[in-house]
Amino acid sequence: MNKPSLADACLCSALTCDGAMGTQLIQRGMQIGECGMRWNDEQPDAIKSVHQAYRDAGCRLITTNSFGGTRSMLERHGLGAKTADWNRLAAKLAGEVVGPDGWVIGDVGPFGDFLEPLGDTTAAELEAIFREQISALVEGGADAILVETMSDPSELCVGVRAARAVTDLPVIATYAFQKSAGQFRTMMGTQVAEAITAAFDAGAAIVGANCGTDLSLADYVELAKEIVAAAGGRPTIMQPNAGAPHQINGEIRYDATPEEMAALTHTLRALGISIVGGCCGTSPAHLAAMSKA
């Protein structure tokens, strides 16, 4: 295989990452609150159909169905013993769809608690948790590791270091920022420049933001400017939600249209974001419009 490295590829061409998995699985019959990792084992065709829909939409980075796939998260469902098997499987399923000019992005989300001193978990314990998941994703055929939706820079950096310890594959790292008093910060209060720098310093090859709390499309544009400035020419990524969420009859809805997300993609690219994808509320229709943009 002579695929260029992901970091090199995204410096010289526009790459589109995929969009939300959970909402797509719910459309395919998954119950809210169900363990999505279980679907790698029991509904592999459904997982592959979501990957295929994003691939058909023009996404070259296909993210494994392994958010919530750490032992600590699976243990909430009494399924911790499945950690290695289901992560390997998640990477294998994406690999069956991605094709020769795409990349399998091994997805790692938050471990579900706080590090010391807010929680009981030490950095060493957390690194072991992440290493177990990441090793299995690599064994299953991941081409890169994505440490995402992180609100604590310390947790993100432990995740990046865990990945660097078990593999030479590139590591992508993204924060979920929120806006408070007119400034973008992580939930822990860290500002963008400091958070982005910490992620690169920990060894991430590509750094940026995904998801976010109540961010509007205009907010993502402002956030992108700060990320690009902090990255100083290094590769960046942004996976916004389909606008800010609204509650309608107790249901969370994201209203941005594919056209609005395509316009946002155009702006993010013009600002220098290397990889654009989608998070909550985005669908293959959004990603098709975005990858065209």
Judged by CB under 5 A, the chain residues 209 through 238 that form the site for Zn ion are 211
Neighbouring C-beta atoms of residue 56, cutoff 10 Å:
12
Q: Do residues 34 and 79 lie in contact, with contact meaning Cβ atoms separated by under 8 Å?
A: no
Q: Which of 98, 105, 279, 287 binds Zn ion (CB under 5 A)?
A: 279
Q: Which is nearer to Zn ion, 198 or 279 (CB)?
A: 279
User: Interacting stretch for Zn ion, rule CB under 5 A, among 95-103, 191-199, 255-263, 274-282?
Assistant: 274-282
Judged by CB under 5 A, the chain residues 161 through 220 that form the site for Zn ion are 211
Q: Which is nearer to Zn ion, 211 or 288 (CB)?
A: 211
> Burial of 14 by CB count in 10 Å (0-12 exposed, 13-18 middle, 19+ buried)?
middle
SS3 state of residue 248: strand
Q: Which is nearer to Zn ion, 35 or 211 (CB)?
A: 211
User: Interacting stretch for Zn ion, rule CB under 5 A, among 36-44, 45-53, 65-73, 279-287?
Assistant: 279-287
User: Interacting stretch for Zn ion, rule CB under 5 A, among 90-98, 179-187, 248-256, 280-288?
Assistant: 280-288
Nearest to 236 by CA among 174, 154, 159, 293: 174
Q: How far is the CB of 241 from Zn ion (least distance, A)?
A: 5
User: How big is the CA angle at 202 (ends 199 and 207), to the nearest 5 degrees?
Assistant: 30
Judged by CB under 5 A, the chain residues 17 through 76 that form the site for Zn ion are none
User: Interacting stretch for Zn ion, rule CB under 5 A, among 52-60, 94-102, 132-140, 273-281?
Assistant: 273-281
SS3 state of residue 98: helix
Q: How far is the CB of 201 from Zn ion (least distance, A)?
A: 25
Q: How far is the CB of 282 from Zn ion (least distance, A)?
A: 9
Q: Which is nearer to Zn ion, 72 or 151 (CB)?
A: 151
Q: Which is nearer to Zn ion, 134 or 279 (CB)?
A: 279
Q: How far is the CB of 109 from Zn ion (least distance, A)?
A: 10
CA distances for 99 relative to 60, 96, 121, angstroms: 9, 7, 39
SS3 state of residue 104: strand
Those residues whose C-beta lies under 8 Å from the C-beta of residue 109, and which sit 6 or more positions away, are 67, 68, 69, 70, 73, 148, 149
Neighbouring C-beta atoms of residue 165, cutoff 10 Å:
13
Contact status: 280 vs Zn ion (CB under 5 A): yes
Q: List residues near Zn ion by CB under 5 A.
A: 211, 279-280
